Every structure is written in C-alpha cells, then in structure tokens.
Amino acid sequence: MQVSVETTQGLERRLTITVPAESVDSAVKARLQQLAKTQRINGFRPGKVPVSVIKKRFGKAVRQEVAGDVMQRHFYEAIMQEKINPAGMPSFDLTKDEDGQDLEFAATFEIYPEIEVKGVSEIEVEKPVVEIKAKDLNDMMKTLQKQHATFKEVKRKAKEGDKVTIDFVGTIDGEEFDGGKAEDFPLELGKGQMIPGFEDPLVGAKTGDEVVAKVTFPEDYHAEALKGKDAEFKITVKKVDGLDLPKVDDEFAKLFGVEEGGVEALKEEVKKNMQRELDQTLKSKLKENVIAGLLEKNSLDLPAALVEQEVNALREQAKQRFAQQGQQANMPELPADLFTDNAKRRVSVGLLLGEIIKQKELKVDEARVDALIEQTASAYEDPSEVIEYYKNNQELLQQIQNLALEEQAIDAILEEANVTEVKKSFDEVMNKKA
C-alpha cells in the first residue's frame, strides 16, 4: 500500500492511497467463488455454477462492493501509518479501478487542530462567596406561603399582587374595536398580563370604582389593526381579592412532606435545599467565568465536521424540548444558523478542556463521581434508589464521569488563574440566575 498526504486547505487533508492489484483481484475472486456456491442459475446444478458465469453476471457489482471494503480498510490502515487523527468521516473518490491494475482512491477529511492552551495564568476569575442568612430563609418561607396562598375578597383598595374582577370597554377615537370588551375578567395585578398602562388606574381602586386607562398599543402588537394606536379603556371594578396566606405551622409543614418536627424541621429542609441550589449555581457561575476567560485567550481553527455534529445534537435537543411541550407536530426543520454559534463555542470548549486533561494527565476521580451522583440523588425522595440506578446504567455513569473529568480540568485552570473572591448576597446570586 502506497500513501501520499496532501494539505488542501486549513484542517482539510487528502490521502491518495494505492492498493496492489493482486490484493483487490484476489478479494474479488474469493467473493465470486463464494457467490457461485449459493446462486441458482438455470442450466446449472446448485453449487456448480462456473465462476466465469458468475463474473459475467455479477462481476461489476462484486468489484464495487470489494472496492468499498478495500477503501474503508486501507483508509484506517493509512491514518494509523501516517499518525493522522481525523475529526470526521472521510469522503472517498475512486480514481483507478480496473481488473489487473492497482486500485487508487483519494480520501478527503478534516483533522483535529494542533492545540496549545495559552494565557491560563492571565485569566481573571471572580469567585462569589455567599452565606445563607436568616433573612434569606425567612424570604424563602414567605415565598412558600405565597405559593400555597388563596385569594379572598377584601374591602379595601387594590394593590399589586391582588386579583381584581373587572368589566371593560375599549375605544379608539370614540369607537369600540374588536376584542376590546370583556365582562367578569379576572386580572392579577403586577403580572403584566395586559398592555402597558392598562393596570395603572386599577392600583388604588376598590370595588364599585370606575376608572379610565389610556394606553398605546405596541408597534409589535399581534393584531395588525391595533399596532401603535392610542386607546381608552373604561373599567368597572366588580371585586377585589387579596392573597390569603396560610399560617406557618405544623399543618403547613406537612404540605411539604414534613411529618415530624414541624416548622423547625421544615426550615432545616428548606435551608438544605437552598444550600444545594446555591452551591450548584456558584459552581456553574465559576465554570462559566473560567470558560469565558479560556475562550478569550484561545482562538481555534475548528473542523467543520465537529461543528456540524454539534449543530445536529443541539437541533435534536431542541426537537425533544418542543415535543415535550407538544409543539413538534408539523414543525419545520430548524435552520443550522440557530445553533452554529453555540455549537462552535461548545466544540472550542471541548477541545481546549480535552487538551488540558491530556497535558495534566488527568484521570477520572471516582470520589468526585460518587459526590456528583449523590448530589443529583439528594433532590429525590429515595436517594439510594437513584444512586443505584446511576451505578447500573453505563451510559449515565459515563456522562457523570465525563462531567467529573471536566470539573477536574476547570480546577486545574483555577490553580493557575487569578481568582478574586467577592462577597455577594444569596438574593443577588439567585435572582441573577432567575
């Protein structure tokens, strides 16, 4: 086998491979002989069909089949011989293929770029330091109260967070318009359900009040006839309902599955959940900062094949999300442009972290793997069952091992980077996340 390597452009390579004639011809002959034993042709007994007859009838197809096998096999032998690392599947071009002559073909493909990770010691990373305080816990308890609150009619002026029941009629230049009228319409103030300005006169109104809202429909409003138009709504307040918060007691704790220990036990459980979410958020934020710094210092020439693979993966994930929301029916193919930038970023990150793992000779830390699995399992009712499931599912376990190795690479970068700790409040960090 003769091999020549040519750089066509960027990361693209072209191998021209020559395979000796006897190697190809003998493979064709062997396959024709095997075919002769199984083919049934009129005038010949089963298994007694002459190879010459088989060759005349099937020779061209058999040679094409053999040529395909030969190209696949010798391509892999060639890249091992030349110590080349392809970044995707090759395209084959059969240039010479005649009986009794050497077979010649070209394989075109991309290789992985040579990577030299630079500027790690120059990366500036902000590391938030957060402590969950009593106020944070109290705020979370109030949030839980609101989640289980009910509305109850009140005899006072409406405020943000209340629900009002209203009748309204909308006019433009004194004329009513389609869709601008409703009766017994429930509206929760502060949710932004209506166009800007509609709620303004309702805050401070009480049952029986009649108010007027002067608004301008947005230029991007869904109804063409109303875009950018000034309108006036006459609104009658028929009822005001305020939030009726449940009392925080043992019965309230039971709503969250806390049967023993009452409110104090509930608070302990809530704080534990807050800490878990905070830790995960801080870890994700720190990782984002490290990766952003790494990408800023390192620009890579990316193989188009890898970017295309990542685009397809992201597109498939999007399809699955739409399917879960019941929106997949008759949905057109999502264009690659929607995913290209994200795909390029992910490929760059993967190559850079992979090089760090290689340079540092990092191996999967099984203790970290166990910790990641336990962290995931802690959010479930029966953590031991989830841990067992992960340990016995090779695909899921491999994903966790890859994540652990990625975290180890991030830690290796942090050891060299300039890390500045910044104190932040729980609300600041988690609200930013939201």
Q: What mean pLDDT do residues 373-398 have?
A: 91
Cβ atoms of 87 and 112 within 8 Å: the answer is yes
203's tokens: 């805050």
Q: What is the pLDDT of residues 163-196, one digit of tens each?
A: 999 999 999 999 999 989 999 999 999 998 999 9
Q: List the one residue out of 285, 270, 291, 271 whose CA is nearest residue 429.
A: 285
Task: Please tell me the predicted confidence (pLDDT) of residue 320.
Answer: 84
pLDDT number for residue 327: 63
Across the chain, mean pLDDT equals 91
Pairing of strands 12-19, 210-216: unpaired
The residues facing 185 across adjacent strands are 166
Residue 247 has what pLDDT? Answer: 94
**Percent share of the chain, pLDDT over 90:** 77
Lowest mean pLDDT among 34-43, 69-78, 206-215, 298-307: 34-43
Taking phi over 0 as left and psi of -120 to 50 as alpha, with beta for the rest, 149 belongs to beta
- pLDDT at residue number 380: 87
Contact 268/253 with Cβ under 8 angstroms?
Answer: no
Q: Residue 299 belongs to what H/E stretch?
A: none
User: Among 47, 202, 17, 19, which residue's Cα sits nearest to residue 109?
Assistant: 17
In the prediction, which pLDDT does 367 show? 95
DSSP helix/strand/coil, 209: coil
126: DSSP letter: E
How many whole angstroms separate alpha carbon 300 and alpha carbon 306?
13
Evaluate whether 311 touches 336 at the Cβ level (below 8 Å).
Answer: yes
Residue 434: what pLDDT?
41
Angstrom distance (rounded) from CA 173 to CA 98: 85
Question: What pLDDT was estimated at residue 433?
Answer: 46
Report the C-alpha gap between 266 and 254 in whole angstroms.
Answer: 9
Dump the DSSP string for 365-385.
-HHHHHHHHHHHHTTSS-HHH
The answer, yes or no, to whether residue 424 has pLDDT greater than 50, is: yes
- Phi then psi for residue 168, to 5 deg, are -150, 155
Span between the terminal Cα atoms of the chain, in Å: 61
- pLDDT tops 60 at residue 207: yes
Q: What is the DSSP string of 83-110?
A: T--BSS--EEEEEE--TTS-EEEEEEEE
Closest listed residue to residue 310, CA positions, set 84, 87, 91, 86: 87
Q: DSSP strand E in 284-432: where? A: 418-424
User: What's the pLDDT band for 28 if we cut at 50, 70, 90?
Assistant: confident
- 3 state SS of 8: strand
- pLDDT band, very low/low/confident/very high, at 415 (cuts 50, 70, 90): very high
Which pLDDT does position 432 carry in this prediction? 60
pLDDT average, residue stretch 114-118: 92
248: pLDDT strictly greater than 90: yes
Q: Is 235 helix (H, G, I), strand (E, B) or coil?
A: strand
Q: What are the percentages of helix, strand and coil residues in the chain, rounded to 5?
A: 50, 20, 30
Which secondary-structure segment (H or E) carries 151?
A: strand 150-153
pLDDT at 214 over 90: yes
At 131-149, the pLDDT tens digits run 999 999 999 999 999 999 9
Residue 325 predicted with pLDDT over 80: no
In this model, does residue 414 exceed pLDDT 50? Answer: yes
Least confident stretch, 10-24, 123-137, 306-320, 322-336: 322-336
pLDDT, tens digit, 9 for 90 and up, residues 347-380:
999 999 999 999 999 999 999 999 999 988 988 8
Q: Is the pLDDT of residue 244 over 80?
A: yes
CA 40, CA 54: separation in Å to the nearest integer? Answer: 10
